[in-house]
Amino acid sequence: MSYVIRKLLLAIPIVILATFVVFLMLYLTPGDPVSALSPPHATAEQLDKIREEWGLLDPPWVQYGRFLWRLGHGDLGTSVGFGTVDESVSWLIAQKLPNTLMLMGLGLAISYTMGIPLGILAALKQNKAADRLIMVFTLVTYAMPSFWLGLLFLLLFSNYLGWLHAEGTSGGIGNIILPAMTLGIGNAALTTRMMRSSMLEVIRMDHITQLRSRGIPEREVIFKHALKNAVLPVITVIGLDIGWFVGGAVVVETVFTWQGIGYLMTEAINRTDFPVVQGCILVMALFVIIGNLAADIFYAYVDPRVRLG
């Protein structure tokens, strides 16, 4: 139990760092921070009004304190660039979040349903043609930038074959497949490599040799005994994959104009809508932190050596 508590305590400074980075963003902008919050060609009176509204005249630590206080109440500020009505950032994000979660979930599923069987196959056929082929495939897909893969998918499935309307969120299930595949395939390369090395390690262990020497069929040895041990380290890193998926989601959503928080953020960057960018980054960072924490705790749960060691 103390292991979990230690991990939880360690997450606190990381959350604080995340809030601090997000807070600092406004002050890293070139020039006066007020210019990042105001419409272009604002008059001096308007600027003064914004300064007062945002409390930019207070000392920095007071501003940071207020920022944290508002965060604690779920208030991420107000959008400065979207339309005529000032919309609350939390509301904007809450609207888009389900789409991102759906995309990441499906991407994760694709990544594991591809990566685990491929990894097992590569390990069982080590140094044979199938293994070589799979390893080359993982090398190439890992090096392939997700935005480029996405564009290729768009070109192939949407323009040439006309099977799927890839852009946008409306239009049902067909639209999510391409972005989710793009997101999943890049991570599948990592999963495959990890599954392969984990499987290779397990099938060389004494208890597996012992099972084989007892004449138990190979199929049973692999799928009933080896797989259980080999798949564990692969499954436990799902939490760590979240970091990869969050970064990937920003890019993939932009390629497919998928209405998630990643797309919301790139739109906000282009409109210099600073509060929205800050809110999106913070939410994504929290995602990753929670994912990492979940991975640590899950790992300790399934492998007692971690929490006792």
* Residues at the contact surface with another protein, assessed by CB under 8 A: 10, 13-14, 17-18, 21-22, 24-26, 28-30, 139-140, 142-148, 151-152, 154-155, 159, 190, 193-194, 197, 237, 243-244, 246-247, 250-251, 254-255, 266, 269-270, 277, 281, 284-285, 288-289, 292
Shortest separation between residue 270's beta carbon and another protein, angstroms: 6
Shortest separation between residue 219's beta carbon and another protein, angstroms: 27
Q: Note the helical H segments in the chain.
A: 2-28, 33-37, 44-54, 60-72, 89-124, 129-143, 146-153, 174-203, 206-213, 218-220, 227-236, 238-256, 261-270, 274-302, 304-308
Q: Which is nearer to another protein, 94 or 142 (CB)?
A: 142
What tokens does 305 get?
């050596």
Q: How far apart are CA 161 and CA 170, in angstroms?
A: 20
Q: Which is nearer to another protein, 26 or 221 (CB)?
A: 26
Q: Which is nearer to another protein, 254 or 259 (CB)?
A: 254
Shortest separation between residue 218's beta carbon and another protein, angstroms: 26
Q: Which is nearer to another protein, 18 or 211 (CB)?
A: 18
User: Considering only CA atoms, which of 187, 193, 275 is closest in space to residue 264?
Assistant: 275
Q: Which is nearer to another protein, 122 or 285 (CB)?
A: 285
- The interaxial angle of helices 274-302 and 261-270, nearest 10 deg, is 150
DSSP 78: B
Shortest separation between residue 68's beta carbon and another protein, angstroms: 17
Q: How far apart are CA 97 and CA 283, in angstroms?
A: 9
Shortest separation between residue 195's beta carbon and another protein, angstroms: 10
